Structure 1
Amino acid sequence: MKNNSKEQQQPGMDSNNSLDKTEEAQKVLVRLDFQFADYPLTLIFLPESIPTAASLAYGFERKNNETILVFDLGGGTFDVSVLEVGDGVFEVLSTSRDTHLGGDDFDKRIVDWLAASFKKDEGIDL
């Protein structure tokens, strides 16, 4: 027996029943605001390479113009974009990519740094 019913696509879902990138970014966005050397910084962490969604999440409701740096260290590359955001407008001022930094290279450096810091603080070599 054939099933002739058509499945309706849920909002925020693509044809493969997975969350679209914007919806996914909205659900898992982690934002940290802090001061560094007299400059206010906001870091936005996402589980996947979604720098566009990060900049949208940060600047969508901004009224004052700000220049922001969006960086992506995933996927084996290091991608950087400088954007001007404000009044619902996003202008890309510059973008660049380093194909030799990011992904596994970056992960290894973080793990090595954490292990060295732990050894220094706790005296235990991981």
Structure 2
Amino acid sequence: MSAIVLGVGAGVFILALLWVLVFLVCVLLSRVSGPARFSIIFVFFAALIITAVLLFFPRATEVTIQEVEIKIIDKFFIGRYVLLAILSIFFFGSLFLVLIHHVLEPIYAKPLRSY
């Protein structure tokens, strides 16, 4: 079964990407002078053919097959949070030490020259 994002399959995103790229190529080719400007027509018809092929020959079946859902049980739940707490303590302790030793490092005044 293919992945579904935002309620639609990958084919919709492929078609959207195809037409965005075709639009950009057509905009770029519209700035060209001479007979190369007419290649916009070929790019547009090529995109139409690709879209027709993708719409009329889909790879996935229309009927979705129900799969058995596998439940994943986290048996190390408490240990994971203990590890997170210990790492958080070390992180904030290290951040405090960096603050003390680097950011708040004292700047000593230079002695005045007296003649």
Smaller-chain TM-score range? under 0.3
State the TM-score, normalizing by the size of structure 2.
0.21
Per residue, is there more strand in 1 or in 2? 1
Larger radius of gyration: 2
Per residue, is there more helix in 1 or in 2? 2
State the TM-score, normalizing by the size of structure 1.
0.20
